[in-house]
Amino acid sequence: MAWNLFSILGLAVAVSFHLSGIAWSEYIPVDYSPLTSHQLDTTQLTSADYFRSWLTDVFEPVVLQQYQSSTQAEWDFETNITEATSDASLEGAEGAANATRISAQIAGKFDLSNSQDVQMQRVWRSLKVVGDAALDPVEFDELNRLITNMSTIYSTATVCFDPTASVLQWSSSNPTDCSAQQQKPINPDLQDFMANSTWEADKRRYVWEAWREVSGKQVRKNYIRYVELKNNAAKLNGYADDGELWRSDYTDDSTGYHDSDFLKDLDDLWLQIKPLYDQVHAYVRRILIQKFPEEYISPTGPIPAHLLGDMWSLTWIDMLSFTQLFPSKPLLDVTAEMKAQNYTVDRMFRLSEQFQIDLGLIPMPPEFWEKSQFVKPTDGRDVFCSANAWDFYRPGGVRIKMCATVSMSDLLTVHHEMGHVQYFLQYASQLVPFRSGANAGFHEAVGDTFALSIGTPSHLAYLGLLKNITNDRESDLNYQFATALDKLVFLPFAYIMDRYRYDVFSGKIGTDRLNQGWWDYASKYQGIAPPTPRGEEFFDPGAKYHIDADVEYMRYFIDYVIQFQFYKALCDAAGHAGPLYQCDINKSKKAGTLLSSMLSLGSSQPWPIALEKITGSRRMSAAPLLDFFQPLIEYLKTVNQHNDDVIDGTGVTPCLSIDVTGKSGRRAIPTTYLLKRMHYAGAVLDSPNQLMNVVPDFTGLNGFD
C-alpha cells in the first residue's frame, strides 16, 4: 500500500522499473559535469526567470538521468533481494544524494527570498533542503545500510508454525524440527492466519508474539542508531529533529501554515473522529468477550491486540464474519464470487484501469503492463511484497509492485495503487520538482477515493459480483459497519505511527522506553493492549514495515480523512442525490474532470490550494467522513447504550499495567494479562482498576520471567 518518490530531491528514491526477462543490472553512475560546469550569470541570481531557465535547461536533464539510474537499481533490489542488488541500490542512493547535494549547493547561490514569483521561490527553498543527503558520505552510507538491513529482516523473517498442529510444539526462539514448509513469512501466510476467524486465541497469541520476536526485536539496536543519524541529518537541514523535517512536507511559509498549525489540525481531526471510534470499539469489545471468554477481556478497558484479525490491529475487517450487525444479511465480501468467476490478478488491474478510463482519465501505458510485478514470483526470489506504485520519470515509465491474490481486499488495494499511477500520469508535464502529490496524503487519498466508490454494493452489483442487492436499512448499516472496520479503525493506528516517532525523534520517548512508549500510545488511542508482557528487550513498532523502511506514515492518517472530502466533492460533481455512502461515481466524466484539475497540479501549488480546487475549502475536515457514517453512529449509540457498554475504552482506564516483582525484578505487566491469570486462579475481578488494590507475588509466573 506505500507510494515511493523523491520529495523535492530530499528523500531516497524508491521508484524504478523491471526489465522482465533480462539479467539484473548494476547501478550506472551519472555524469554530473553538465550541472557542475555550468557557469551562472552572477548578475541574474535574484531573478526568478533566470532561476527557472537554469531549472529546465541545466538541472532537469541531469537529475532525470539520476532518478532513472537510481530507481533501476532500487527496483532490482526490491524484486530480487540479494547482496549484489542490495549493494547496487545503496550505490544508487548515494548517487541520488550526490545529485541532491550538488543541486543544493548551486541553488544556494541564488537568492529568491524577495522574489514575487512564489512558485519559483518554493522550488528554490525546497532544493536547499537536502534531507538525509546532508550527512557526510560515511554516515549517509551507514544510514542507508541500516534501513536496508531493517527492511530485509522484515521481508525475509519467518515464523515456524503449522496451524494444524499444537501451538505449543515450538517456541519462536527455538523452532525445533521446523521444516521449510512450516516457515511462514508475514505475507501472505501469517497475515492470512491472523485474518482467519476460526483459529483459537492461543494460536493467535503465538503467531502475534513470534512475529515480533523475529522482526521488531531484531531491529531494535539498528533503530536506535537510525534515529541518531536521522536527527543529525535534520539538524543539518535546519530542523530541530527528523519529526519536524517530516512535517515540513505539510507546512508552507507562503500560505502562513506552520508546524504548530499542522499539529493542531491533527489533534482537532482526531477529536472529531474519536466519538465514532469509541462506539465501534465498545461494540466490538463486547462481541469479542462473547467469542473468547477464556481471554478474560475487560468490559471497560483495552482489547487484547492479537484478537482483532490483523497482525497490527490496523484493520478489523476480517472480524466481520462474527461482528456483522445483522448476521442474517449476506456478508459484503465478494472474494468467493470472484474466485467462482475465475478472476485473475491481471483482470483485477484491468477492471481498475477501465474504471479510470470511464471517468475520462488517462489509460495505463503499455510499459505498465509489461514491467509491473502483480503477483509474488514463483522462481524462488525473495522480494518486498508491500504494495507500492513506482514513477520513474520518463514517458510511460510507471508500474506497480505487489504480491496480489484474488480477493476483495486486494481488489481495493489494486484501485489504491492505481490511483497513485494515475496521479503520476496526470502531473508528468510539470517541472521535476513539482512531480509529486500536493502532499503525501493527497497521493494516498486518490486511489482510496476510487476504492470507496468501487466498494459500494451498487458498484459490486454492476461488476456482477454481488447478487440480489437490497438497499434496506439493515444492509446499509452492515455496509457502513464493514467500511468502519476497514477505514475508521485504521485512523488511530495511522495517527500513533508518527505521533510515536515524533516523540522518539524529539527525545520525549527515550531509548529506555521505546516499547513502553509505543504501548502507551496504542492504549490511549487504539484502546488495545498486548496479550502478554512486553519489556524493553522488544521493539514492537519494528514489527511494521514502514517503521523499518523509513516511511513517513501521517500521510495515511491524512489520506483517510481527505479521501472522504474528495469523495463527497466528486459525488456532488457526478450529481449524486441521496446518502453519501450510496454514491458511485462510475462513468461520471464531470467527476473525472474535477479530479484531473487537481491531479494535474502536482505540487506546483501549496496543498491547501489544491484541496480547494477539488473541495472548495482549504481546510482538512472530518465532516464528510462523519456524514458517511452518520446512520451507523446513531445505531451504535442506541445498541451500546442498551447493552450498558462502557464507551471510551481508549485511554480512560487509569490502570493499563501494574508493576509486579518477578525473578528478574520489577516490570510493568498488562492488566489484561493479569486479569486473565487471576481469573483462572479463582479471583473475582471485574475491572483493571481493582488491581490497584491488589499486590500479588508473581515470582515465577509463567510468561513473566
**Cell triple for 350:** 484491468
Hey, what amino acid is at 480? Q
574's CB contacts (< 8 A; 6+ apart) are 583, 585, 588, 590, 591
The span from the CA of 562 to the CA of 615, in Å, is 10
514's CB contacts (< 8 A; 6+ apart) are 220, 223, 224, 504, 536, 539, 541
**Cell triple for 153:** 529482516
- So which residues are the catalytic ones? 417, 546
Q: Name the nearest CA neighbour of 130 among 258, 227, 7, 4.
A: 7
Q: Contacts from 682-686 at CB under 8 Å and sequence distance 24+?
A: 686/299
Q: Could you tell me which residues are annotated as the binding site for chloride?
A: 250, 555
3-class SS of residue 373: strand
* C-alpha of 117 from chain center: 35
Hey, what amino acid is at 664? S
3-class SS of residue 252: strand
Query: How are beta strands 183-185 and 528-529 bridged, if at all?
Result: unpaired
Hey, what amino acid is at 637? K
Rg (CA), the chain: 25
Q: Could you tell me which residues are annotated as the binding site?
A: 250, 416, 420, 444, 555
CB 89 within 8 A of CB 384: no
φ, ψ of residue 266 to 5 degrees: the values are -60, -45
The span from the CA of 515 to the CA of 533, in Å, is 11
Q: Could you tell me which residues are annotated as the binding site for Zn(2+)?
A: 416, 420, 444
Residue 450 pairs with which residues in a beta bridge?
none
SS3 content of the chain, % helix, strand, coil (to 5): 60, 5, 35
Q: What is the 3-state secondary structure (H, E, C) of 151-215?
A: HHHHHHCEEECCCCCCHHHCECCECCCCCHHHEEEHHHHHHHHHHCCCCCHHHHHHHHHHHHHHC
3-class SS of residue 510: coil
CB 151 within 8 A of CB 548: yes
Query: How are beta strands 388-391 and 2-4 bridged, if at all?
Result: parallel
The span from the CA of 336 to the CA of 339, in Å, is 5
Q: Contacts from 81-88 at CB under 8 Å and sequence distance 24+?
A: 81/152, 81/155, 81/156, 81/381, 81/382, 81/383, 81/384, 82/382, 84/24, 85/24, 86/148, 86/152, 88/24, 88/25, 88/26, 88/27
